[in-house]
A = this chain, B = another copy of it.
Amino acid sequence: MRPTTLGVIGLGAIGGSVAREAKRAGLSVTGWSPDPAERRAALSQGALDDAPAQAAEVARAAELLILAALPAANLELLTKLGPCLSATALATDVGSVKRSIVARAEALGLAARFAGSHPFAGTQAHGFDASRAGLFTGAVVYVTPTRGGATAAREIAHFWESVCGARAVAMDATAHDTQIAVTSHLPQVIASLLGRYLAEHVPRGAALGPGAKDTTRLAASEPGLWTEILLMNRDMLLPTLRALEEPLGELERALESGDARGVSAWLDRGARWRRSLEP
């Protein structure tokens, strides 16, 4: 699918970037944000052709509707805007947890016209000011089909690839949420855990090197967004968090007993893995 009219609900870093990219690709783009100033900014910066005051107008005009609000709001928006979609329109979202929105689409009878999307191109920045064309170039976008929605999923995957230059990867919503708990939600918690600790224990004026800054970069992410994400995926995330206790205790015991071989082997596992990645 390469729609000629795109609707974007939510004009933050992701929604704004999709709008900019679609405009650049020549689509007619309508968008909505609950914040009138954000709608005006998106219009004046050429990310939108139209920014009506009502989200329903965006839904009615779109061949493809993209829900890019916060995850819990996307669930409500799908319920509210589903009936506004034209008979042939498709819809997707851009949230980081996929089981809940896929289940909602199925429950609403939208299975044939919805697939979940998760562009794996987040940033700790947020809001329309953090949006940019090119954000998705080369990025993975997971596309999670509903039961019976394989065709819609293929169309939506094609949108991400042909309009946004992304690499679409089809994946079952449960498999996605399992994987993303490890590759994304866990790093967020770890960075926030370290950030909390440093906030309380770094002496005022003490220097921080690039190491501490990189390790905590994600801690600056928006707490409101991440509260929803972590809660929606808590069943996948909690076992992962609890599983950290054992290796942490292992290091503590090796340090206590002065076990240099144990400490070195402990560090070595992550070092070999991290060095095997591209920078």
Contacts and interface: CB of A to CB of B under 8 A. Distances in A.
Interface of A: 120-122, 124, 140, 169, 179, 182-184, 186-203, 206-209, 211-224, 226-228, 230-231, 234, 237-238, 240-245, 247-248, 251-252, 255-256, 258, 260, 263-264, 266-275, 277, 279
Contact of A193 (B179, B182, B242, B244): B244
Contacts of A187: 194, 211-212, 215-216
Contact of A248 (B191, B202, B241): B241
Contacts of A260: 227-228, 231
7 closest A-B pairs (Cβ-Cβ)? A195-B270, A199-B273, A219-B270, A223-B267, A220-B274, A140-B207, A219-B274
A212 B227 CA distance: 18
Given A121-B209, A187-B194, A199-B273, 12 more contacts: A122-B211, A140-B207, A169-B207, A179-B203, A190-B215, A192-B267, A193-B270, A213-B279, A215-B218, A221-B271, A231-B260, A238-B255
**Chain A binding surface SS class:** helix
A195 B120 contact: no
Residue of A206, A228, A238 with highest tally of chain B CB at under 10 A: A206
Contacts of A256: 234, 238
A219 B271 contact: yes
Contacts of A226: 263, 267
Contacts of A234: 255-256, 258
Nearest to A278: B213
Contacts of A212: 183-184, 187
A75 B217 CA distance: 35
A23 B224 CA distance: 52
Given A187-B216, A256-B234, A269-B199, A223 B192 contact: no
Contacts of A237: 255
A264 to B, nearest CB: 4
Contacts of A199: 269-270, 272-273
